[in-house]
Structure 1
Amino acid sequence: MEVRFLGPDDAEELVKIRLEGLQTDPDAFGSTYEEAMQVSMEEWRQRLSQGESGDSGYFGAFVKGELAGIIGFFRHRGLKARHKASIVSMYVREAYRGTGVAKALMQAELAYLKERGDIDTVQLAVVTTNPAAIRLYEKMGFLPYGLEKRALKNGDQYFDESHMYILL
């Protein structure tokens, strides 16, 4: 398995796996498949062209050349909050779940954020209906700091989110 920072040349594969995740696990994400379809490939290439010093980005895990999973981050913008980053868009294809891909992605992203030297707190939100993800995050050292009731709504169904953090 190879885990690496994704660049503009990876845009098509990133979009493909992101759309797959939004279709297979729609309750786990804040955006919808329909919203994601509105983002042009050019915009994705632009997002991925910041390079490793940018304030947002994605890592991908490749198994035998196939993109098996992704994890994204963004740095908070305000001067008093720039020491924090949020993890977003964690998704592992079903065939690769339970194989260590998610752990490898999280380890790579946390190592990268720590190595930057200007980020010391990482946050994430996870729907409470995903106990496997919560267990992984806890094993990685994340601690809960809040529960947001009805954080997401899909149709008539609400989903609570556990907010978690780790200090680097």
Structure 2
Amino acid sequence: MEVRRLGPEDAEAFVKVRLEGLQTDPDAFGATYEEDAARPMAEWKERLSQGPQGDSGYFGAFVAGELVGIIGYFRHRGIKARHKAAVVSMYVREAHRGTGIAQALMHEELAYLKARGDISQVQLAVVTSNPGAVRFYEKMGFVPYGYEKQALKVGERYVDETLMYVLLHE
């Protein structure tokens, strides 16, 4: 297994995995399959280009050259909140779950954010309907700090989220 930052050259493989995640686990993402499927490839390549500051990006896990898991991050923009980043878009293809890929992705992303030296807190939101994901994040050192009722609306029903954080420099 190889875990590395993704770039524009990975856009097609990334979109394939991302869209699969949106279909497989629609409650776990803020976006919908329909809206992401409609995005042009140029937009995905731009998202994966990191930008000069590297304030957002994605990591991917590859097995035998195939992208099987993704995780993203973005740094908060405001001057008083720039010490925080958020984990987004975590997904591992079903056939590769339970193999350590999710842990490797999270370790790589947190190590990158910590090595930057200017990010001290990482946050995430996880749907309460996925207790396995909550336990995974707890094992990775995240602790709950809040609960958002009706955080997402999926069709005509609502999904609640647990808000979690980890401090990088403790």
Shorter-chain TM range is over 0.9
Aligned length: 168
Structure 1 gaps, min length 5: none
Q: Distance between the aligned counterparts of 1:52 and 1:63, measured in 2?
A: 29
1:112–1:52 CA distance, 2 compared to 1 (3 A) = farther
Q: Which residue of 1 aligns with 2:55?
A: 55
Q: Which residue of 2 aligns with 1:3?
A: 3
Structure 2 gaps, min length 5: none
Q: Which residue of 1 aligns with 2:22?
A: 22
Q: Which residue of 1 aligns with 2:86?
A: 86
Q: Distance between the aligned counterparts of 2:105 and 2:88, measured in 1?
A: 12
Deviation at 1:52, TM superposition (A): 8.1
Q: Which residue of 2 aligns with 1:107?
A: 107
Give CA-to-partner distance per residue, 1:51-110, whole Å, 9 cap, x none: 684110000000111111000000000000000000000000000011111000000000
Q: Distance between the aligned counterparts of 1:7 and 1:52, measured in 2?
A: 13
Q: Which residue of 1 aligns with 2:141?
A: 141
The alignment partner of 1:146 has SS state of strand
- Displacement over 2 Å in runs of 4+: 50-53
CA contact (8 A) 1:7 1:51 kept: no
Q: Distance between the aligned counterparts of 1:48 and 1:156, measured in 2?
A: 32
CA contact (8 A) 1:5 1:52 kept: no
Q: Distance between the aligned counterparts of 2:141 and 2:52, measured in 1?
A: 24
Q: Does 1:132 align with 2:139?
A: no
State the TM-score, normalizing by the size of structure 1: 0.97
Give CA-to-partner distance per residue, 1:108-151, whole Å, 9 cap, x none: 00000000001000000000011111111000100000000011
